[in-house]
């Protein structure tokens, strides 16, 4: 009985906090795992290797060794890719990865900040809503201080518009993208680092219609958006 009791008795050195340390280690590993999944989403195998090597370096993991014990050459991730990943984390910290107003996604060459159309604009209009201005206020100073280039894309659904102000979705999508761009410029973003494009309904994120040609309202709603593509500066620009 005494031996059984000794087996069940907690260690005097570890005390009751030993399990907490183990749990903390596990949570840290899980966090690193999910950050890795986030970083390699929609990226090819080479990008996967680059990002995994970068994370290993950041966490202090030693370089892998070959069978003869020599250090294996590490494929270093480019500074541009590091900057993209850091920008995504910064934007996510400011506004969250996905809210009622926007969604943030990492691409191989940029960070996409997707501004949801129904939140940022009234139907058939290109003026920013008060809620949209509050959201932009959270990110505009960070973007303005960054060295990054931005392409502002306006996207519409496939529902035709024909008003005096907007004869088609080309004009509407361009006007909405321009409204966001003007707000960035008015708050310190450099006009040399921004481009505006109206895409109309040429690049839907989701099918506007089903196989029978019936509209899918929820998808049409998602396709109405303005996307900020945040790119690292070009090499020649960065040197200036």
Q: Do 103 and 221 belong to one domain? A: yes
The label of the residue with tokens 């949209």 reads 132
Query: What is the CB neighbour count within 10 angstroms for residue 81?
Result: 20
pLDDT at res. 217: 96
pLDDT at res. 171: 97
Q: Is residue 73 part of a domain?
A: no
Q: Are 146 and 87 contacting, i.e. CB atoms less than 8 angstroms apart?
A: yes
Q: Are 55 and 77 contacting, i.e. CB atoms less than 8 angstroms apart?
A: no
pLDDT at res. 237: 47
Q: Do 57 and 84 belong to one domain? A: no
pLDDT at res. 110: 86
Instruction: Give CA–CA dist 220/214, Å, rounded.
Output: 11
Q: Is residue 121 part of a domain?
A: yes
Cα–Cα distances in angstroms (integers) from residue 76 to residues 37, 48, 63, 72, 215, in the given order = 18, 12, 11, 12, 47
Q: Do 63 and 103 belong to one domain? A: no
The label of the residue with tokens 């809620």 reads 131
Dihedral, 185, 180, 104, 203 alpha carbons, nearest 10: -130
Q: Is residue 72 part of a domain?
A: no
Q: Do 129 and 192 belong to one domain? A: yes
Q: Is residue 52 part of a domain?
A: yes
pLDDT at res. 78: 61
Cα–Cα distances in angstroms (integers) from residue 70 to residues 23, 31, 74, 97, 152, in the given order = 35, 31, 12, 41, 48
Q: Is residue 29 part of a domain?
A: yes
Beta bridge partners of 128: 121
pLDDT averaged per 10 residues in sequence order, the chain, 240 residues: 48 54 66 60 50 49 48 49 72 76 86 93 95 92 88 96 95 98 95 95 96 96 95 59
Q: Do 47 and 152 belong to one domain? A: no
Please report, in angstroms and rounded to a whole number, the separation of the first and last CA atoms in the chain: 78
Domain containing 109 equals 78-240
pLDDT at res. 58: 47
pLDDT at res. 70: 45
Q: Do 111 and 152 belong to one domain? A: yes
Beta bridge partners of 113: 104, 228
**Domain end point (choices 67, 89, 109):** 67
Q: Do 86 and 166 belong to one domain? A: yes
Q: Do 86 and 192 belong to one domain? A: yes
Q: Is residue 85 part of a domain?
A: yes
pLDDT at res. 60: 47
pLDDT at res. 94: 77
Q: Do 55 and 109 belong to one domain? A: no
Q: Do 93 and 187 belong to one domain? A: yes
Token representation of residue 183: 């707000």
**Domain end point (choices 34, 67, 100):** 67
Q: Do 225 and 108 belong to one domain? A: yes
pTM of the model: 0.65
Q: Is residue 84 part of a domain?
A: yes
8-41 burial, b for 16+ CB within 10 Å, e for fewer? eeeeeeeeeeeeeeeeeeeeeeeeeeeebebbbe
**Domain end point (choices 67, 86, 102):** 67
Q: Are 41 and 111 contacting, i.e. CB atoms less than 8 angstroms apart?
A: no
Q: Do 56 and 104 belong to one domain? A: no
pLDDT at res. 46: 52
- For the chain, how many structural domains are there in total? 2
In CATH, what number is assigned to the domain containing residue 160? 3.30.1330.60
Q: Is residue 12 part of a domain?
A: yes
């Amino acid at each position: 009985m005494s031996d059984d009791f000794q087996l069940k008795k907690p260690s005097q050195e570890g005390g009751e906090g030993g399990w907490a340390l183990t749990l903390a280690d596990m949570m840290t590993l899980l966090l690193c795992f999910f950050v890795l999944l986030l970083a390699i989403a929609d990226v090819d195998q080479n990008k996967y290797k680059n990002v995994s090597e970068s994370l290993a370096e950041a966490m202090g993991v030693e370089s892998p060794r070959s069978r003869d014990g020599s250090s294996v050459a590490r494929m270093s991730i480019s500074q541009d890719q590091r900057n993209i990943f850091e920008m995504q984390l910064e934007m996510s910290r400011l506004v969250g990865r996905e809210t009622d107003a926007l969604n943030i996604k990492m691409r191989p060459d940029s960070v996409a900040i997707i501004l949801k159309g129904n939140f940022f604009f009234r139907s058939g209009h290109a003026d920013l809503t008060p809620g949209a201005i509050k959201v932009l206020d959270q990110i505009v100073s960070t973007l303005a201080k960054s060295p990054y280039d931005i392409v502002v894309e306006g996207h519409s659904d496939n529902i035709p518009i024909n008003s005096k102000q907007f004869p088609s979705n080309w004009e509407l999508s361009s006007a909405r993208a321009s409204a966001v761009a003007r707000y960035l410029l008015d708050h310190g973003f450099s006009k040399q680092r921004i481009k505006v494009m109206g895409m109309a309904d040429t690049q839907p994120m989701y099918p506007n219609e089903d196989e029978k040609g019936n509209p899918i309202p929820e998808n049409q709603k998602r396709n109405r958006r303005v996307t900020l593509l945040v790119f690292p500066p070009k090499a020649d620009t960065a040197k200036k």
